[in-house]
Amino acid sequence: MAKMTIAEALRQAIREEMRRDERVFCIGEDIDIEGGFGGAFTVTLGLAKEFGYDRIINTPISEIMIAGAAVGAAMTGMIPIADVQYGDFLFCMMDQLANQAAKMTYMSGGKVKVPMVMRAPVGATTRGAQHAQSLEGFFTHIPGLKVICPATAYDAKGLLKTAIRDENPVIVFEHKLLYGSKGTRAEKSALSPIGEVPDEEYLIPFGEAVVRREGSDVTIVANLLMMYRALEAAEILEKEGISVEVIDPRTLVPFDYDTVIKSIAKTSRLMIVEEDTKRNGWGAEVAAHIAEEAIYYLDAPIKRVAAYDVPIPFAPVMENFVIPSVDRIVEEVRNLMKS
């Protein structure tokens, strides 16, 4: 076992997969320039030293091209790991992701494959509205894409390796406050969890949620940073005699409903916490699915706690207000226990 940050775990996954398979390569802006950052959050720092600039490809600032080049390379025998500096810029690439990558296999009648990985940092970090969004929900809406969101070092490595070996386009959402990026790329108020990562090789299959904390009164499903806030809230609530179970879905497409349903069969209450804005988010989908398939387990209405439906504001006081805080989660659980 080695202890490491998520950024290090992701880097290790990339390194191992690039050693294992020479088709794997990285492409993105500033991903490893001599004297540079190693990508916006240091994930690809130093990889060019081992793999050279032919496999660690620094690009012009051309998001459409990056995503399109990944699609074209993936269709013709390569396995690109594309990188976008901030998840928000995925919108610049939307045609290539939503119309090309996601549909190529289907439109060809299943004959073409697009084994590409698109990595994207998400989360609000007082950078203002265009460097803040949590976009997981958007991409869960597009058939043909897989969507994953690892929140620990162990998951980051195991899930990214699975993503690289998947024969379909996978979008990897990583949280800026969870990376543990160092030096000039360190984030103020980052959580930067350090996790244990086995020395031996392992892969984590998609569609397997993890119960992060067991409890009996209410189930909270939360991903990325919100998972950690839910755990904090659970600590506080425990002192009030409320026992919270916290589930980290880890992958949103595919989604592990079994684990959620098993949990609510025990707790009878369901809350979903997401950093994305509330309207039509992935939380809405989970709520609807549980209402359709398992509502009889519930003793109270399903509760979603999410960012308010506004662009993410810059002022820290406003940002903190918009994004679900530990306090807000605690308060909403208390309310849910009363209903």
Q: Given the rule CB under 8 A, which residues bind another protein?
A: 25, 54-55, 57, 59-60, 62-65, 67-78, 80, 95-96, 99-100, 104-115, 143-144, 146, 167-168
Nearer to another protein, 23 or 266 (CB): 23
Nearer to another protein, 31 or 71 (CB): 71
CA distance 39 to 42: 5
Closest CA to 117 of 23, 54, 40: 23
Closest CA to 266 of 332, 215, 192, 205: 215
Sign of the four-CA dihedral 64, 167, 171, 28: negative
CA distance 82 to 70: 7
Report the nearest approach of another protein to the CB of residue 166 (Å).
9
**Active-site annotation holds for 131:** yes
Closest CA to 80 of 49, 36, 44, 50: 44
Nearer to another protein, 106 or 308 (CB): 106
Whether 314 and 126 have beta carbons less than 8 Å apart is answered as yes
Whether 314 and 129 have beta carbons less than 8 Å apart is answered as yes
Nearer to another protein, 152 or 168 (CB): 168
Nearer to another protein, 35 or 143 (CB): 143
Burial of 241 (0-12, 13-18, 19+ CB in 10 A): exposed
Q: Which residues contact 311 (CB under 8 A, 6 or more apart)?
A: 129
Catalytic residues: 131
